[in-house]
Amino acid sequence: MNERFHTLYSCGVKSDSTCFKFGPEEACHRKKLSFPLLNGFGKCFLFCMLLLGPFHTFAQLDQSALEEHFPDTSRSFQERISLKLASHSFFRNNEFFQEMAQGYTLFGTMLQTELQYEAHPNLSLTGGLFLKKDFGNAGIQEVVPRFSIKYQNGNYAILFGNIEAQVGHRLIEPLLDYERFITHHNEMGLQFKKWSSRLWSDTWISWDRMQYQGSDYQERFTAGHSSSAKLFANRRQSLRLLWQGMVTHRGGQLDIDTTPLQTLLNAAAGLKYQHHFYGIIQEMKAEIYGVLFRDLSPTKTLSSASGNGWMMNAGLLSKWGIGLSLNYWQSQNYLSDKGAWFYQSASDETAKTPVYHQERELLFIRAFYQKKVLPGFYVDLRFEPFFDMKGQYLEYSYGLYFSYRQRFNLINLKKSQFKHPHEAG
């Protein structure tokens, strides 16, 4: 699991909590957790969102250009072999100077090449290679083989092997840090996806680390679900209900590691409102989520066994791909194995000294440019400062991403007249 949790065991940890737990054997008397009441700023933020009515907007940035999709066969099925090519170049500079994290830079490129064999209108097999290169390093940091089999029938699909990973799950950042698209790009396991005009859902299990007899480490896996259901829609407006959750587990029976097994739950539910326009402003959105954390482990070893939070978003997108967004976050004792560190009570693993703050209150103001420049080629430029309202300090990051995806037909094999519905979304 994330190293930030392990570092909290040391007695040198700083905390603003009156009920901090230093280890699994030490008693800890915590006050009862509940969703915190909004302070003056939070109330003003919420009031402004309600006042705007149809001009509600968004802050959870669009990651669709980074999503990976295993393509289906064409409407008129052709048995064939094709080449899938995906390239992602990234520059992300995190200027962090306070106690919760140190700054760092991610700068490099990823290349994914795969051959896809379309054996049947409902079945395709894919195999290839993933390469990751960090600039400023003479070597290649990752060389990973990729294999997947996909069965699709109508509006559902099952993937076995490499799955549509990370940002493809469409989880909010407190549950899953979008930076994992760079640092942990590949996921292998089993995935079930379903879509229609009113529902999109993704259910998966990814095996993060396999163990063998006598291993000196624990096995790790993640199980998750993400859904979006349309409650209302017309030509210009829509309202969706979203619910998502993720369980991370660390344990196993074959290893010699004596660390207690650990099972963590993170979940969220919320509403998302969208409004489309035909002028300079193309789209406005609003999102509000309730988020929770629970430690389901038999032996509790973390500084908190439960926590929760609220997230409210507002922003807009212009016809040029330029947008501005606002995000307010308030939480108590919230932890997440794979979520972005700044939403959590525990400091990041990069912090010089482990720190724990029971309450977190943050304001993000994000400016971005996201545009499809050429067929298959996307540019994403971001500036993402945030203000810690408890600590009274400002941190910021900025990034540039180039993404290119394309599929090329190599060999046409047996011709078939079988037709099937095209995969939506």
Tell me the domain boundaries of the chain.
Answer: 3-12+60-419
The predicted pLDDT at position 261 comes to 95
Does the pLDDT value for residue 350 go beyond 60? yes
The predicted pLDDT at position 63 comes to 63
User: Tokens for 215?
Assistant: 């291993």
The predicted pLDDT at position 421 comes to 41
Q: What confidence tens digit (pLDDT) does each residue in 271-315 have?
A: 999 999 999 999 999 999 999 999 999 999 999 999 999 999 999
Q: What confidence tens digit (pLDDT) does each residue in 53-75 have?
A: 333 333 456 666 566 665 555 45
User: Tokens for 145?
Assistant: 């083989």
Burial of 78 (0-12, 13-18, 19+ CB in 10 A): middle
The most distant pair of C-alpha atoms in the chain lies apart, rounded to whole Å, by 71
Rg (CA), the chain: 22
Burial of 236 (0-12, 13-18, 19+ CB in 10 A): exposed
Spatial CA neighbour of 62 closest among 424, 363, 316 = 316
Q: What confidence tens digit (pLDDT) does each residue in 212-261 have?
A: 999 999 999 999 999 999 999 999 999 999 999 999 999 999 999 999 99
Q: What confidence tens digit (pLDDT) does each residue in 316-336 have?
A: 999 999 999 999 999 999 999
Which residues face 89 on adjacent strands? 109, 402
pLDDT cut 70: percent of the chain above it: 79
Name the class of domain 3-12+60-419: mainly beta
Q: Read off the pLDDT of each residue in 338-360 and give the average, rounded to a whole number.
A: 93
Do the Cβ atoms of 410 and 83 come closer than 8 Å?
yes
Residue whose structure tokens are 């930076």: 179
User: Tokens for 175?
Assistant: 């549950």
DSSP-derived 3-state class of residue 41: helix
The predicted pLDDT at position 424 comes to 38
The answer, as to whether pTM is greater than 0.85, is no
Q: Read off the pLDDT of each residue in 196-203 and give the average, rounded to a whole number.
A: 95
- What is the CA angle 326-332-337, rounded to 5? 85
Does the pLDDT value for residue 17 go beyond 70? no
The predicted pLDDT at position 79 comes to 86
Query: 64: which DSSP letter?
Result: G
The predicted pLDDT at position 55 comes to 34
Nearest-angstrom CA–CA distance, 13 and 179: 26
User: Hey, what amino acid is at 312?
Assistant: M
Q: What confidence tens digit (pLDDT) does each residue in 85-144 have?
A: 999 999 999 999 999 999 999 999 999 999 999 999 899 999 999 999 999 999 999 999
